[in-house]
């Protein structure tokens, strides 16, 4: 038996090595001991009937044998029970340990998992041989005891051992099959992560051999029943046949086994590699192997039947007529049992065929089976007809020994016939039912799961392959349709993104154009204003210069006329004229600087000088009602356009003055400069009425104004914001109703 790899650490739920909470076992795990005890209790009468009763009925125990037999049997039963209990405990010990770990929620180590799986696979076969050996040893012990106590004729113990050995093997087969069924139901509960195909590779040879041995034992049993019913052998003749025929059967079985054991090599090669190259050959062998095994078994059993007749006539002295009947019974039983064996082998290999059809795209012409469904049905039901009719003819022509023999005959025929019919019908309708269910699923759109051919590549198998090709074609078309839809959706999404991007670019371009347009308009306005101011300043400057230049000659002339002493009132008038002229000259000079600024390049500016010139220009608006407080800090110079920077101061101071004049009582404007973190900060604060909170977020919006119609354009603060932004600075406002407003301008230091 091959070993099966299991995970290194197997948790109770197959989730790895983490310790989990205690888990409840399934029905197979929770009732393992009870199920095994029930199997033993149910099969014990069968074993006693097949092993002890034939010996008691056929073997001459002598005059003291019946008296000594109960003591020997009781002693043998006690020893055998103890030995059997100990042996089974050792066999299933790893399984019980795994169940205990699962019940406690503990993980299994790799070694424990390997031993548990090995015990599951080995226990049925080992139990069968142990049971046969136990019965044989018990029979030998009883025979030797009787021989020693002179309760058994000389030489009878050899006959007892042979009969007990062959019959105990036949009786142990059902136990092995039932144990296997129970343990294989238990395996998923404790080892859920075992690869099914690897498990198949480790067990399928044992399955094939077990099926062959089980059907062989069934054939031997049926042959014995029918020979007893038809031929009417004496106890001595029956005992002689049971003594001499088993070596012949064992020899033929060994010849058959060594002759066919190389047939599954292609399957083993595929299971070791699992590639596409070996898949087709493995499928061919797997679907042909049941018929090869059954066919070679038929040849071996036909030989055994012929040897049975020859041995009966020439060695044991049975009449030729009865020897021929025994040979015919063996041939007829072989035909019926061979069908069961073939069906059993097909069921064993069906998982491999389904796996190959599901995993590999097999060429249908290469795996097509030569046995069509019609031929298999004809062979199955034809063999059944031959089996039942032949036995019925023998029954009619030869008669039976009595009512019990007739009952055994009828039950045997019906049991084999019904078993063959049920197995054949299930073998035919099972795949059709699977195809029907899969077709219904496909009609509902479920195309992911493949359509698995449920067996050989006969008409039903080829129909399954056709369904699978149809499923693949439909799925490919659906995938191509889905891929086209996905491609279209992607293209639409891409085009939409392109349109959105173009839209954004257009909006940005329009915004830039509008901004450029505003800048051009503003620049043009500023340039026009500068030219106008420059012209006015030039025109005013000439008469102002004339006045300033005439003051000294006028003072000298008046001094001569007044005799060197100018009267005080005249001197006061001259000083007023001089101050007015100087003030006018300063205003003209400021206008000249203001008008010239926009035409200048970016230069380093004296911020405080610019603020002073702005205040000089706005002296008439400030009047005597508004007091200006200057808090200049050491800020150095800033880089920028002088005219635009001065316009910022003009707009901020004008707005502050207008807010204060609206109070009807004047107020104070505080201009503060400072240097903070490499930036020059200018704050223009007033103690006016303040700006309402709902208006504050909109004061920098173009054309927004709170003044009456005709009093403001709403562009002043918007222009200020743009100028500050272009110079890389920021402007913010802090205002409180009734306490005033502070505009804070931050510009990069020069």
Asked if residue 331 has pLDDT above 60, the reply is yes
pLDDT tier at 539, thresholds 50, 70, 90: low
The whole-number average pLDDT for the span 408-420 is 76
The whole-number average pLDDT for the span 148-163 is 68
Burial of 323 (0-12, 13-18, 19+ CB in 10 A): buried
pLDDT of residue 28: 58
pLDDT tier at 396, thresholds 50, 70, 90: low
Per the CB < 8 A criterion, the answer to whether 636 and 750 are in contact is yes
The whole-number average pLDDT for the span 50-68 is 68
- Higher-pLDDT residue of 663 and 351 is 351
In the block, tokens 């101050």 appear at 579
In the block, tokens 């003072």 appear at 555
pLDDT tier at 656, thresholds 50, 70, 90: confident
pLDDT of residue 606: 83
As given in the structure block, the two tokens for residue 332 are 């007829």
Span of 128-137, 249-258, 612-621 with lowest mean pLDDT: 612-621
168, β-bridge pairs: none
- Higher-pLDDT residue of 11 and 261 is 261
**How far apart are the two ends of the chain, measured CA to CA in Å?**
93
pLDDT of residue 707: 63
Domains of the chain: 27-194 (no CATH), 195-237+272-457 (no CATH), 601-748 (3.30.565.10)
As given in the structure block, the two tokens for residue 708 are 């009456």
Q: 727: closest CA among 749, 744, 702, 697?
A: 749
Angle between helices 156-190 and 65-104 (to 10 degrees): 10
Furthest CA-CA distance within the chain: 194
The whole-number average pLDDT for the span 129-139 is 84
Asked if residue 418 has pLDDT above 80, the reply is yes
Highest mean pLDDT among 162-176, 461-475, 481-495: 481-495
- Higher-pLDDT residue of 16 and 70 is 70
Give the pLDDT confidence of 166-218 residue by residue, as tens digits.
778 777 888 888 888 888 888 888 887 788 888 888 888 888 888 888 888 77
Per the CB < 8 A criterion, the answer to whether 246 and 166 are in contact is yes
How wide is the angle at C-alpha 111 spanned by C-alphas 107 and 116, nearest 5°?
Answer: 80
- Higher-pLDDT residue of 696 and 564 is 696
681, β-bridge pairs: 674, 746
Give the pLDDT confidence of 573-602 residue by residue, as tens digits.
777 777 777 767 666 665 665 555 444 467
As given in the structure block, the two tokens for residue 56 are 């008691």
pLDDT of residue 528: 58
Q: What is the pTM of this model?
A: 0.57
The whole-number average pLDDT for the span 710-729 is 72
Judged by DSSP in three states, 193 sits in: coil
Asked if residue 399 has pLDDT above 60, the reply is no
Report the alpha-carbon distance of residue 564 to residue 567 in Å, rounded.
Answer: 10
The whole-number average pLDDT for the span 80-108 is 85
pLDDT of residue 501: 87
Task: Express as a percent the part of the chain with pLDDT over 90.
Answer: 1
Q: 207: closest CA among 369, 347, 386, 360?
A: 347
pLDDT of residue 661: 78
Report the alpha-carbon distance of residue 597 to residue 526 in Å, rounded.
Answer: 10
pLDDT tier at 17, thresholds 50, 70, 90: very low
Report the alpha-carbon distance of residue 336 to residue 421 in Å, rounded.
Answer: 11
pLDDT of residue 516: 65
Per the CB < 8 A criterion, the answer to whether 52 and 138 are in contact is no
Q: State the SS3 of 257-324.
A: HHHHCCCCHHHHHHHHHCCHHHHHHHHHHHHHHHHHHHHHHHHHHHHHHHHHHHHHHHHCCCCHHHHH
The whole-number average pLDDT for the span 231-249 is 72
DSSP 574: H
Nearest 10 degrees: Cα torsion 609, 610, 613, 614: -150
Chain mean pLDDT for the chain: 77
Give the pLDDT confidence of 271-310 residue by residue, as tens digits.
888 888 888 888 888 888 988 888 888 888 888 888 888 8
pLDDT of residue 63: 65
pLDDT of residue 627: 86
Span of 9-13, 181-185, 455-459 with lowest mean pLDDT: 9-13
As given in the structure block, the two tokens for residue 478 are 């659906």
Burial of 180 (0-12, 13-18, 19+ CB in 10 A): buried
Quick one: how far is CA 311 from the chain centroid?
A: 66
Asked if residue 21 has pLDDT above 60, the reply is no
DSSP 473-518: HHHHHHHHHHHHHHHHHHHHHHHHHHHHHHHHHHHHHHHHHHHHHH
pLDDT tier at 15, thresholds 50, 70, 90: very low
Report the alpha-carbon distance of residue 576 to residue 64 in Å, rounded.
Answer: 171
210-243 burial code (b ≥16 CB/10 A, e <16): bbbbbbbbbbbbbbbbbbbbbbbbeeebbbbbbb
Q: What is the C-alpha radius of gyration for the chain, rounded to an integer number of angstroms?
A: 58
Q: State the SS3 of 217-231.
A: HHHHHHHHHHHHHHC
Report the alpha-carbon distance of residue 255 to residue 234 in Å, rounded.
Answer: 31
Judged by DSSP in three states, 619 sits in: helix
């Amino acid at each position: 038996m091959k070993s099966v790899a299991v995970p290194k650490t197997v948790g109770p739920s197959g989730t790895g090595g983490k310790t989990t909470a205690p888990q409840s076992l399934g029905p197979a795990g929770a009732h393992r001991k009870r199920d095994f005890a029930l199997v033993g209790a149910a099969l014990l009468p069968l074993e006693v009937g097949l092993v002890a009763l034939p010996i008691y009925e056929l073997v001459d125990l002598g005059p003291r044998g019946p008296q000594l037999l109960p003591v020997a049997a009781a002693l043998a039963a006690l020893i055998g029970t103890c030995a059997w209990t100990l042996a089974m405990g050792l066999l299933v010990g790893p399984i019980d340990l795994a169940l205990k770990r699962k019940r406690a929620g503990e993980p299994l180590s790799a070694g424990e998992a390997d031993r548990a799986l090995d015990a599951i696979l080995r226990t049925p076969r080992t139990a069968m041989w142990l049971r046969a050996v136990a019965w044989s040893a018990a029979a030998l012990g009883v025979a030797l005891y009787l021989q020693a106590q002179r309760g058994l004729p000389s030489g009878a113990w050899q006959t007892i051992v042979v009969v007990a050995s062959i019959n105990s093997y036949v009786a142990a087969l059902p136990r092995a099959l039932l144990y296997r069924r129970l343990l294989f139901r238990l395996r998923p509960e404790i080892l859920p992560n075992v690869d099914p195909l690897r498990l198949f590779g480790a067990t399928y040879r044992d399955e094939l051999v077990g099926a062959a041995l089980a059907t062989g034992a069934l054939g031997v049993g049926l042959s014995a029943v029918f020979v007893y019913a038809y031929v009417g052998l004496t106890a001595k003749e029956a005992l002689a046949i049971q003594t001499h025929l088993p070596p012949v059967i064992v020899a033929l079985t060994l010849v058959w086994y060594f002759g066919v054991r190389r047939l599954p090599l292609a399957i083993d090669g595929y299971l070791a590699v699992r590639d596409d190259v070996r898949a087709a050959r493995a499928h061919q062998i797997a679907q042909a192997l049941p018929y090869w095994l059954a066919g070679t078994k038929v040849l071996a059993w036909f030989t055994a039947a012929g040897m049975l007749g020859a041995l009966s006539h020439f060695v044991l002295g049975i009449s030729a007529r009865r020897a021929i009947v025994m040979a015919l019974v063996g041939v007829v039983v072989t035909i019926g049992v061979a069908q069961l064996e073939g069906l059993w082998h097909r069921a064993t290999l069906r998982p491999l065929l389904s796996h190959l059809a599901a995993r590999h795209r097999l060429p249908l012409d290469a795996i097509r089976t030569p046995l069509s469904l019609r031929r298999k049905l004809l062979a199955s039901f034809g063999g059944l007809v031959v089996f039942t009719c032949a036995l019925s003819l023998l029954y009619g022509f030869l008669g039976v020994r009595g009512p019990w023999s007739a009952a055994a005959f009828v039950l045997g025929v019906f049991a084999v016939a019904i078993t063959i019919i049920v197995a054949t019908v299930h073998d035919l309708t099972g795949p059709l039912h699977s195809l029907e269910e899969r077709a219904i699923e496909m009609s509902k759109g479920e195309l992911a799961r493949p359509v698995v051919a449920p067996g050989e590549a006969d008409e039903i198998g080829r129909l399954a392959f056709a369904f699978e090709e149809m499923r693949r074609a439909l799925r490919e078309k659906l995938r191509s349709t889905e891929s086209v839809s996905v491609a279209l959706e992607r293209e639409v999404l891409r085009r939409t993104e392109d349109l959105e991007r173009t839209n954004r670019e257009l909006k940005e371009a329009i915004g830039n154009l509008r901004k450029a347009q505003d800048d051009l308009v503003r620049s043009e306005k500023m340039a026009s204003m500068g030219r106008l101011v420059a012209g006015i300043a030039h025109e005013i400057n000439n008469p102002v210069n004339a006045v300033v230049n005439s003051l000294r000659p006028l003072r000298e002339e008046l001094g001569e006329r007044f005799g060197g002493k100018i009267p005080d009132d005249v001197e006061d008038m001259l000083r007023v004229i001089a101050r007015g002229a100087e003030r006018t000259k300063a205003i003209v000079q400021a206008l000249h600087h203001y008008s010239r600024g926009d035409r200048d390049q970016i230069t380093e500016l004296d911020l405080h000088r610019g603020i002073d010139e702005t205040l000089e220009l706005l002296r008439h608006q400030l009047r005597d009602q508004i007091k200006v407080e200057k808090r200049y800090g050491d800020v150095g110079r800033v880089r920028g356009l002088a005219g635009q920077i001065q316009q910022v101061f003009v707009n901020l101071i004008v707005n502050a003055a207008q807010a204060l004049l609206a109070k009807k009582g004047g107020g104070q404007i505080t201009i503060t400069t400072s240097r903070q973190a490499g930036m020059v900060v200018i704050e223009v604060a007033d103690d006016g009425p303040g700006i309402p909170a709902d208006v504050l977020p909109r004061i920098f919006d173009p054309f927004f104004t709170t003044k009456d119609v005709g009093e403001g354009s709403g562009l002043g603060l918007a222009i200020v914001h743009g100028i500050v932004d272009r110079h890389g600075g920021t402007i913010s406002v802090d205002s409180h109703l009734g306490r005033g407003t502070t505009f804070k301008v931050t510009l990069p230091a020069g």
